[in-house]
Amino acid sequence: MVLLWLRMSSPVYNLISVRLQSSCTPLIVAKIPYIVTSLYRQVVGKEKTMTEEKATPLQPPQTQDNDEEEEKEMYAVWAVPEDDVEDRLGRLMEGLRSEFGGPPFGPHLTLIGPQKLTATEAKRMFKSACEGFKAYPATVDQVSTGDSYFQCVYVSLRHTPEVMNAAGHFMAHFKPFTGKFYVPHMSILYGDLTEEEKKKALEKAYALDSSVNGLSFRINRVALWITDANVGSWVKIDEHNLTS
């Protein structure tokens, strides 16, 4: 039994046993296995407790919200007229710029004005809004002038159910209803002109395209753009062709 006990594998157990045997009577030596076992359990128990106290509790995996970490930019949604009307309005816009200046930009009807979003948010909302959305008709009312840089000279559109519903559809996917009245229009000149210059620009527009009033066409594309204060840095992010 003593030999079996001395062959125990634990270094701590063996060290305590050997030291006790060298200094005890035969009667006590016979009881050493029981004494050592008790001491060994106490030592190991303390080590285990200390290890548990020092242990770092496991933490649940940290998840990151990509939308919160992404940089936000100003996104807008444009409705784009069919190709021949886009070209026609483009020529009108180029003629106005040649005389009154202003930055170049493509003909478009704004459905959603600039909103501060992440790329993930904007693309997700745009994709959702485009699903099942179909091409729709629009008609020019007249050429008008406005009070802001981005509505210096513009083509106003008739407030038909199709035009108004299209804006409402995209607004529902991008933001809550704000109560602000939607005015469908397509700007054809950006600038800070005087009232006299605006009057001349209006006359120039009709000189370039005298039959623009009443022009009917179809909106067959919508596009997602980054539109900050600098028109020259605007970037098209996505485009969707609308089915008839």
Mean pLDDT of 35-47: 51
pLDDT value at residue 32: 47
pLDDT at 54 over 60: no
Q: How many Å apart are CA 169 and CA 156, to the nearest integer?
A: 20
Active site annotation includes 159: no
Which is it for the CA torsion 38, 44, 47, 49, positive or negative? negative
- Residue 114 corresponds to which tokens in the numbers above? 């600039």
Domains delineated in the chain:
2-54 (no CATH), 66-241 (3.90.1140.10)
Give CA separation, 12 vs 7, 39, 54, in Å.
12, 10, 22
Marked catalytic residue, from 169, 173, 185, 240: 185
pLDDT value at residue 215: 98
DSSP 149-207: GGGSEEEEE---HHHHHHHHHHHHHHS----PPP--EEEEE-S---HHHHHHHHHHHHH
Q: What is the pLDDT of residues 165-199, one digit of tens each?
A: 999 999 999 975 555 688 999 999 999 999 999 99
pLDDT value at residue 62: 52
- Going by pLDDT thresholds of 50, 70 and 90, the confidence category of residue 79 is very high
Q: Average pLDDT, whole number, for the chain? A: 82
Q: What is the pLDDT of residues 83-129, one digit of tens each?
A: 999 999 999 999 999 999 999 999 999 999 999 999 999 999 999 99
Q: What is the pLDDT of residues 132-155, one digit of tens each?
A: 999 999 999 999 999 999 999 999
- Residue 105 corresponds to which tokens in the numbers above? 């930009």
pLDDT value at residue 40: 46
Active site annotation includes 185: yes
* For the chain, percent of residues with pLDDT exceeding 70: 70
- Going by pLDDT thresholds of 50, 70 and 90, the confidence category of residue 70 is confident
Read off the pTM.
0.70
To the nearest 10 degrees (0 to 180), the angle between helices 161-174 and 119-130 is 140
DSSP state at residue 122 = H
